[in-house]
Amino acid sequence: MKVEPLFTDAERLALAGFLAGYSGLARDAYALDLRQYVSWCQQHGLHLFAARRSDIECFGRDMESRGRARATISRRLCTVSGFYRYAVEEDLLDHSPAVHVRRPRLDYESHAIGLDRNEVGALLVAAGLGPAQEHALMSLLAINGLRISEALGADIDSLGIERGHRTLTILRKGGKIVTIPLAPRTARAVDLAVGERPDGPIFLRPDGQRMDRNCASRIVRRVARRSGVNKPIGPHTLRHAFITAALDAGVPLRDVQEAASHADPRTTMRYDRARVSLDRHATYIVAAYLAGAAR
Q: Is the pTM of this model over 0.85?
A: no
Are residue 42 and residue 83 in the same domain, yes or no? yes
Q: What would the mean pLDDT of 65-70 be, rounded to a whole number? A: 85
- Those residues whose C-beta lies under 8 Å from the C-beta of residue 249, and which sit 6 or more positions away, are none
Q: Does 64 share its domain with 127?
A: no
pLDDT of residue 209: 92
DSSP state of 69: -
Domain count, the chain: 2
Asked whether the predicted pLDDT for residue 284 surpasses 80, the reply is: no
What's the CA gap between 153 and 131, in Å, rounded? Answer: 20
In a domain, 157, yes or no: yes
Amino acid at position 170, single letter: I
Residue 293: inside a domain: no
Position 7 scores a pLDDT of 82
Query: Of all residues in the chain, what percent carry a pLDDT higher than 90?
Result: 48
CATH number at residue 221: 1.10.443.10
Residue 261 has pLDDT above 70, yes or no: no
pLDDT score for 293 = 60
- pLDDT tens per residue across span 44-59: 999 999 999 999 999 9
Residues 149 and 235 in one domain: yes
pLDDT for res 262: 66
Q: What is the C-alpha separation between 11 and 14, in angstroms, rounded?
A: 5
Considering only 5-9, 14-18, 22-26, which range has the smallest mean pLDDT?
A: 22-26
Bridge partners (DSSP) listed for residue 179:
169
